[in-house]
Structures are given as structure tokens and as C-alpha cells.
Amino acid sequence: MKKSHLVPLFLIFSLLIGCNNTPNSESAEIIHLDIASGLKTKKHLLLSEIVDSIEYIKLETNKDCVLPRAYRVFGQKYLVFASRTPAKVLLFSRQGEFIRQIGNAGQGPGEYSQPNHVDLSPDEDKIVIVDGRSDSAIEYDINGNHLQTYKPLASIHQEVYYLDQETLVYIPSRPYSDSLNCPRLMALNLETKEEKPLYTIDFKFANERNGIYIDPNFIRSSTGLLFKASLGDTCYQINKDLSLIPKFSIDVGENTAPAYKVRMEDYHYDHVGYTFDLPNHILIIGSYGERFHQVFDKRTDEYYTLPAIKKCKGSGGYSYGIINDLDGLSPFWPFYTLYSRDNSFMEVHQIVDLEEWCATDCFTDSELITEKYRTQLRTLVEQSDIYDNPIIRICHLK
């Protein structure tokens, strides 16, 4: 494994499985990763290796802003939470004060009944909500005024992100039959309402019941918004001019799935799931005979696989993750629920979960490089009631 030199994109295209994509035609230096080589070295990753500092935010709690588990985004000024049950979108300040509800639940103009996703514009003056029931993108200003509702030509899979103030990008829902040149990444201009496919594939559908899909995914990174196609091996940066620039590619060998749906009992194909591009590291989760969690250090070209954690495991007893040597919370791995922005990532921690963890030896006896954050966290938990809104942890990356 090594960093590549300048590689013509036709070589990159040959790596893609069944794709007719339209990335930028210029050559670019990308990082090539071979899953098999990364499996040769086992090593733990410490949180202090990727995180420079931690910020805690205690959300205000009152009858108007009781927050169930929800999708969330954050900016320099605001925190936004979207809940499906009950259907509501809540706006808080970066300091945790409740400001207002955005829009209302319902099926009328400018209303939503199933907010699946939410994003905050780069200038933090607009919010877009994906309503799963109407399959629409609903835009509001930061004061909660409805600006527009747009139903895209292609059904929205789930996530919609602002690429800039006037452009949304989204992953369309998968088709239910074989499809040539099927769009898997779309851009929508909110001013002109023009839609443009940025990435297409030749989609092969498998009809087995009780199957699972391997989905495309977006990645917020320090350099912007990245996209990786399902069953594809290359991660692209989406530029504001709507070009796609390859950032890194991943070789998973020959045992890859022949279709975008496979039976549960046949789910033995090697693949890469979610990837996260951090300033100095790339984090990868996937399957290569069995599930793996890998880390590539961009500074040293070191590439390794995380070993199983024997004691003080992660949430739900998960055996893999980044060892927390900063504030004593459990190890974690950034799955799709993680939201990153502005060179930071955000987590939501329920008070009841924090109380349980802070009472364990794993919290009180863990070896940390500083007591600062453990003390801050313990104080916040002691001052909270189990019915309070959650505590937000924002980790600022190195």
C-alpha cells in the first residue's frame, strides 16, 4: 500500500464495478488502499491521535423542546435536530439554548410528516428538511419561514446536503429493476430548479426476498463533501462546479457482490461500507471474510486493522472502536449516524446512558492524558436529570 503518483483517470474507471460515471477528466493524485495489506497489521487507534479538543453542550430542556432521538446537524452558530416521532425539527443555539421549532407537522403546504433528514446551509441562514412521506425537500429560513418545497425528479433515498447556498446534492432511491445509466448522485439548483446527474451506474437488481442493500454514502470531510458509490471502490470529492475528483480508492479483491441486493444467507461478499475522510486519517469499515475496521494514516502511510476490544467495549457491547483516552467515554466507531462539519464531528449522548457509564470502572479508572474532560463531563452529568435533553459532544479534529 502506498500513495500513488499522478494516475490517469481511465485507470481509476477500470476499477469501478459496473459504473458509467462522469467524474472530472483531469488526472489527480489519489490514495490507493488494499484491504488485504491492511489486515496484516493489528493496532489500536487512540482518540487523542485524531482529536485536538472536546466541546460539551448541555441542551436546554422545556416542554417545547423535549428531544427524542433524532437526526442532527451543527454549525458555528446553530444545532438542528429532526425527529420522526413525534415529527418536529428543533433549532438550538451553539450554546444549547432552545430557539424555535422549524415548520410544523402536517400534510399542508410547507409542512412535513416524516422528517428523515435535515441540513444547514453553509451560511447557516437556511435549513432543508427531507420529508419521507411526501418525498420532498422543504426549505426554511433560520427564522422558521417556509421558503419553498421541491419534489425532485428522482425519489430521494434519504440524505440531502447543501453543496453551497443554492445547490443541494442527494442520492436517489434505488430502482426496482435493471437500469442502464441509473443516476446515483444528483444535484439540484434551488434557484433554477435544474437537476443534473453527477454519477450514474448500470444497475443490476436481484429479486431475492429478505435481502439487504449496500448503499452509497456521503462523507463530510475537512475538504468538503465526499461521495462513494455502493459497490464502488473510489471516493470522490464533490466540487462546487459539480465535478467529481477522486480522493482515494479501495481494493477489496475479486469476491464482490454481483448485484445491489443479496440474500441474507449469501451476505459473504467482500465490500467496503462507510468510509470517513479525516484530516490525517481515513477510517474504513467493511467485510473481507469477516467484518473489519481499518485506519490509514495519511502522514505516515501506515495502514492497519483495529483488533477486538476485550474490556470496556463500545455502545451495545460493540467490540471495535477508537480507544477513548480523552474523557473516558466508551470506545466508538463513526458509523453513518456521525455528523461531521467544520473539521469537527458531533455526537449525542442521552443522560441516562451517561449516568450508567460514569458509574462504571471503565470510566473512573481509565487512563487519560488529561483529567480536564472527564471532570467536565462528570460535572455535567451530576447537574442533569435523566429526563433532560441530551448532552452534545463535539470533537475538534487535529
The pTM for the full model equals 0.84
Collapsing DSSP states into helix, strand and coil, what is residue 336? coil
What gap in Å lies between CA 176 and CA 206, rounded to an integer? 9
Closest by Cα among 196, 198, 173, 203 to 185: 198
Burial of 73 (0-12, 13-18, 19+ CB in 10 A): buried
Collapsing DSSP states into helix, strand and coil, what is residue 346? strand
Say if strands 167-172 and 179-189 run parallel, antiparallel, or are unpaired: antiparallel
The x, y and z cell numbers of residue 256, run together, are 464482490
H helices of 257-368, in order, are: 351-358, 361-364
pLDDT for the residue 40: 93
Cβ(153)–Cβ(188) below 8 Å:
no
Instruction: End-to-end CA distance of the chain: give it in Å, rounded.
Output: 24
pLDDT for the residue 121: 94
pLDDT for the residue 53: 96
pLDDT for the residue 16: 34
Strand partners, 251: 34
Grid-cell match 412521506, residue found: 133
Closest by Cα among 210, 217, 254, 209 to 234: 217
How is residue 46 annotated by DSSP?
Answer: B
Sequential pLDDT tens for the chain (398 residues): 444 333 333 333 333 333 345 555 454 578 999 988 999 999 999 999 999 999 999 999 999 998 877 788 899 999 999 988 889 999 999 999 999 999 998 988 889 998 988 999 999 999 999 998 888 999 999 999 999 999 887 788 778 899 999 999 988 876 666 677 778 889 999 999 999 999 887 766 655 443 344 455 677 665 678 888 765 678 889 998 999 999 988 887 766 555 444 443 445 556 677 788 888 999 988 777 777 899 999 999 999 999 999 888 887 788 889 999 999 999 988 765 567 788 888 889 999 999 999 999 999 999 999 999 999 999 999 999 999 999 999 999 99
Side by side, which strands form the sheet with 281-288?
271-277, 281-288, 290-297, 303-305
Cβ(105)–Cβ(86) below 8 Å:
yes
Strand partners, 142: none
What gap in Å lies between CA 171 and CA 155, rounded to an integer? 9
pLDDT for the residue 127: 96
Structural domains in the chain plus CATH codes: 2-397 (2.130.10)
* Distance (Å) of CA 264 to CA 213, 254, 286: 10, 20, 16
